[in-house]
Amino acid sequence: MSNIIPQTIGQQYGRRSWAEPWKIKMVEPIRMIGRQEREQALQAAGFNTFLLRSEDVYIDLLTDSGTSAMSDRQWAGIMMGDESYAGSRNFYHLEEAIQTYYGYRYIVPTHQGRGAEHLISQAAIKKGQFIPGNMYFTTTRLHQELAGGTFVDVIIDEAHDPASQRPFKGNIDLDKLQALIDEKGAANIAYISLAGTVNMAGGQPVSMANVRAIHELCGHYNIRVYLDATRMVENCFFIQEREEGYSDKPITAILKEFCSYTDGAWMSAKKDNLVNIGGWLAVNHEDVFEMARNMVVVYEGLHTYGGMAGRDMEALAIGIAESVEDDHVHARVNQVRYLGGLLTEWGVPIVQPVGGHAIFLDAKRFYDHIPQDQFPAQTLAAELYLDSGVRSMERGVVSAGRDPKTGDHRYPALELTRLTIPRRVYTQAHMDVVAESVKAIYDVREQTRGLKMAYEPQYLRFFQARFERL
Ligand SMILES: *Cc1c(COP(=O)(O)O)cnc(C)c1O
């Protein structure tokens, strides 16, 4: 497809290198503070990377949400904002971009992804209904529950196994889905909640064959399929690479085909769509559209801005077009895999295969001498910051919280530290720094001690908990 981005990591060594498909026009200076200052900053933050000041961070891999770099064209679009209350020209640009690239008929803008999740959940779920999906996402499931629904995970079993090398670990298990329909009755299924890629499974993709089969099965029962399109462009890359018949199709064609098997989508534009804020809901059926468009004026703003400024919608419309370019998508995913490739080569345990937006370090194997109640993933995030100023995030026992009945920690099977890569922000040289720092703390892992919790907030404790060294 593209002759500047290699198909495999191996081609990057020894022969012909590749480079990011952009050049830098404006820079934001960053600096690494000294070891002693990092130690102080970490102490002040209670060993929790959420409590660090971003100014004390050198390379920030906390999240890929709203952290992308916009292009010169998007910034030019910002200057073209039409801030009329109603009927802004930028809304029509946004509507056209979504219709062109995703192919849906009706568009409702929202301030970010969860705004769209709220609208679709309220419009399409009746109290007591079930919503089968391929692994939950935090805000998605919460909105489904608030609408009176019950989410049911019907992802394939391999999604829960960090060592399984299956190419499409985001797929829905059709037998599980059929069994649920048989058990509950088709009328009690609100819709299918399909996400591509699957964030909580490590950015694992869904195959075209799978969505086609879901579409067919649901067609029999008149059940609609809605897509969480947040990282769907990255999902298309994996289809192009791994699924037969798609290697010579551009990302735009794959995206259009995939969406054609679904009845609509909600979007956190802060991810794939290359903006710092924004979201949208898009549907093909007029009944849902009417309800959502009516509700958006209550919760977000008028139906031609939905919580975004005109300039935000313009940057988003341009961002959508840029996000589906093959060179961009290849560079994006291959940068993540470049980092994963180095760590794999050096024997550092990570979740395989590497997904589209992040590397997940397997802290249980990384610190196999630190018991889970001494927070190995939290320890890893703290040690990484201390070594190089790189900020990552815990996804393990701290994030899992306590069992409300017993009051004990929940001990999840996966104890992970996430390195999430923002889009178009860091170069390959930054990835080298990150990889070498992970390797450096891996080499001294046996001398590393775990942590104890010194302060524990009642809700979502991972955001504000504080720790001390053992
Ligand atoms: C971030 C995210 C959302 C929620 O979007 P916000 O813009 O953060 O409100 C929904 N689904 C997935 C998969 C996400 O990653």
Q: Give the pLDDT confidence of 372-428 residue by residue, as tens digits.
A: 999 999 999 999 999 999 999 999 999 988 888 899 999 988 899 999 999 999 999
Per-residue pLDDT at 88:
98
3-state secondary structure of 381: helix
pLDDT above 90 coverage of the chain, percent: 89
Residue 226, ligand 1, Cβ within 6 A: no
Q: How much is the pLDDT for 414? A: 85
> In this predicted model, what pLDDT tens digit does every residue of 168-183 receive, in sequence order?
999 999 999 999 999 9
Pick the atom of ligand 1 nearest to 268's CA. Answer: 7
Domains located in the chain, CATH noted: 14-64+326-469 (3.90.1150.10), 72-323 (3.40.640.10)
Active-site amino acid positions: 85, 137-138, 228, 271, 395, 462
pLDDT at 4: 43
Q: Mean pLDDT over residues 150-179, rounded?
A: 94
pLDDT of residue 1: 40
pLDDT at 252: 98
**Which among 354, 360, 362, 361 has a CA at the least distance from the CA of 338?**
354
Confidence at residue 2, expressed as pLDDT on a 0 to 100 scale:
41
Please report, rounded to a whole number, the percentage of residues in the chain having pLDDT higher than 70: 97
Tokens of 468: 């001390």
Residue closest via CA to ligand 1's atom 6 equals 113
Q: What single string gives the DSSP state of each residue in 215-278?
A: HHHHHHHT--EEEE-TTHHHHHHHHHHHSTT-TTS-HHHHHHHHHHTSSEEEEETTSTT--SS-
Tens of pLDDT, residues 77-118: 999 999 999 999 999 999 999 999 999 999 999 999 999 999
Alpha carbon of 38 to ligand 1 centroid (Å) = 31
Helix axes 113-124, 286-299, angle to 10 degrees: 130
User: Which tokens belong to 399?
Assistant: 């994030």
Nearest residue CA, atom 2 of ligand 1?
268
pLDDT given at position 5 = 47
Query: According to the model, what pLDDT value does residue 3 have?
Result: 40
Ligand 1 contact, 137 CB (< 6 A): yes
Atom index in ligand 1 nearest the CA of residue 115 equals: 9
pLDDT value at position 400?
A: 87
Residue 391: per-residue pLDDT:
98
Residue 369 alpha carbon to ligand 1 centre in Å: 35
The reported pTM is 0.93
Answer yes or no: is the C-beta of 111 below 6 A from any ligand 1 atom: no
CA distance 448 to 36: 18
Q: Give the pLDDT of residue 271.
A: 98
Which neighbouring-strand residues pair with 151? 131
CA 423 to mean position of chain CA atoms: 12
Model confidence pLDDT, tens digit, residues 11-31: 555 677 778 999 999 999 999
Closest ligand 1 atom number to CA of residue 195? 13
335, pLDDT greater than 80: yes
Angle at 316 between CA 312 and CA 319, to 5 degrees: 140
Ligand 1 touching residue 276 (CB < 6 A): no
* Residue from 67, 131, 197, 271 whose mutation best tests the ligand 1 pocket (most atoms within 8 A of CB): 271
